[in-house]
Structure 1
């Protein structure tokens, strides 16, 4: 059965470049990222994200972002799955991953990276947003009922685009 699908995109919070010897995947959050993630968690929740099917990049900064969000939303009992394929900077990889989702899920949350998130948002919604900032959030809702494997360009509308500088 086809249903309206929703994709919640969360870009990881601001990461630290302090230790330049660290591999990209191992970079932690910086002080701003540590402050922003809990604030944005509440805002994202108010925008209608229930954090029930959460998939996260294995990057340290993405894992720390979702961990902080989880801690700041004690009323929500949620867990996340770490997906190696979400450590990507290419929207085509994200699109392929989304198309592989089980149709029993109507909403998914992806915690990941730019430019993949921004490019996916623009491709699916047709909106030119230029850049999802660190700890930014986009809610995409399918324009009509569909199955995940049927996702194509402009098949979603952007229901929310929230940036930390609106709330900090």
Structure 2
């Protein structure tokens, strides 16, 4: 295995709180509860992420901070990339292709529909729940990449696991 890519959809956001914009929507009570539990679960796994790349949208930012503490990644070392918010498939692929080769295990914190599409393209074997959802809030997909970051494609990716809060917690 050359690299591990973890996809993490931000924890549940609060649609009830007034926010100046979608970008500034915070986590809900459920999101605040799920994020540390999933982060602690991920921290116990083999080959846990050692680097984090995240959307800077408030709900993703808050989720990334929780995971950084559990994974012992310094907040100053999180790469908050504006392109992840509302990213297309091609933009997400560009971000992954530009990852430094020395980073062997990376957590990408983002949003749907982008993460759903990315997972479906990279790992055809990814199966949605019976309600059709793939990357639910705070879901974590673990993908093995048998090549360099710049060569990421469905030909080089294997889905190890897709873990959702309701299934893990």
The TM-score by the shorter chain falls in which range? 0.7 to 0.9
How far apart are the structure 1 equivalents of 2:62 and 2:163? 20
TM-score, scaled to structure 1: 0.87
Between the two proteins, the alignment pairs up a number of residues equal to: 162
1:111-122 mapped onto 2 (5 Å cutoff): 111-122=109-120
2:136 pairs with 1:133: yes
**Counterpart position of 2:72:** 76
Q: 2:12 aligns with which of 11, 14, 24?
A: 14
Other structure's SS at 2:92 match: helix
Where in structure 1 are there 5+ consecutive unaligned residues?
Answer: none
Deviations 1:122-145 (A, max 9, x none): 111222433111000000002x3x
Identify the range of structure 1 (42-51 vs 26-35) with the bigger mean alpha-carbon deviation.
42-51
How far apart are the structure 2 equivalents of 1:49 and 1:26? 32
Tell me which stretches of 4 or more aligned residues in structure 1 moved more than 4 Å: none
RMSD after superposition? 1.9
C-alpha displacement of 1:53: 1.0
Contact 2:52 2:73 (C-alpha < 8 Å) held by counterparts: no
How far apart are the structure 2 equivalents of 1:66 and 1:83? 12
1:57-96 mapped onto 2 (5 Å cutoff): 57-71=55-69, 73=70, 76-79=72-75, 80-96=78-94
